[in-house]
Amino acid sequence: MSTTPPDANPPAPVRAVASRQGSLRSVLLLVVAAGTLLVFIVGVGDFRRKHNALAQMEWHCGTYVSRMGDTGTLPLNLEPDIADVRKARMIKLHWISREEARALRSQPEPVIAAYTVPIPCVLTAKGRAVAYFDNGAFRVEWVGPDEFNRRLAKQRDMIDERTHAP
């Protein structure tokens, strides 16, 4: 005589279904965890690219301030003076020329003094680090592509007006 109840061991087909459901649950959990980890890694990469571009532009602004002196006017030479070894590790930078800086010196609006190449981002808005000269000081801002193109076109129009004026 057996002391175990008759329903203690379920039949084999019921165990197979429960095992299959447990496997599906495990696979689904693994996929969700991997997806979450991937989004986190990509998000951190976006944050670091943006942060590094802004930090580099802040560093450049520090060198620009040293060229400005006590006058509080836009320096004419904004070309970075960087060793070739360090330049290879930096984000490519564009700056206004001496002639453009001369034309924009008395400009009451913020002047785009320098900017990085576009920084690609996956999860956040792509853009670039931009150094503005405004009221005798430099400031750095992250600017999206449409806004940057609009501001740069406006600045180029002002330069054209001032350099081609009689």
Residue 7 lies in a domain: no
Residues 112 and 76: their CA atoms lie apart, in Å, by: 13
Residues 2 and 136: their CA atoms lie apart, in Å, by: 95
Q: Is the pLDDT of residue 150 over 80?
A: yes
Residue 46 lies in a domain: yes
Residue 5 lies in a domain: no
Return the higher-pLDDT residue of 22 and 111.
Answer: 111
The whole-number pLDDT of residue 90 equals: 86
Domain that holds residue 82: 12-163
Sequence-separated (6 or more) residues with CB below 8 Å from residue 16 = none
Residue 77 lies in a domain: yes
Q: How many domains does the chain have?
A: 1
Residue 2 lies in a domain: no
In the chain, what percentage of residues exceed pLDDT 70?
Answer: 87
Convert the pLDDT of each residue in 52-78 to its tens digit. Answer: 999 999 998 888 887 776 777 888 888
Residue 3 lies in a domain: no
Convert the pLDDT of each residue in 11-35 to its tens digit. Answer: 556 566 667 778 888 889 999 999 9
Quick check: pTM over 0.85? Answer: no
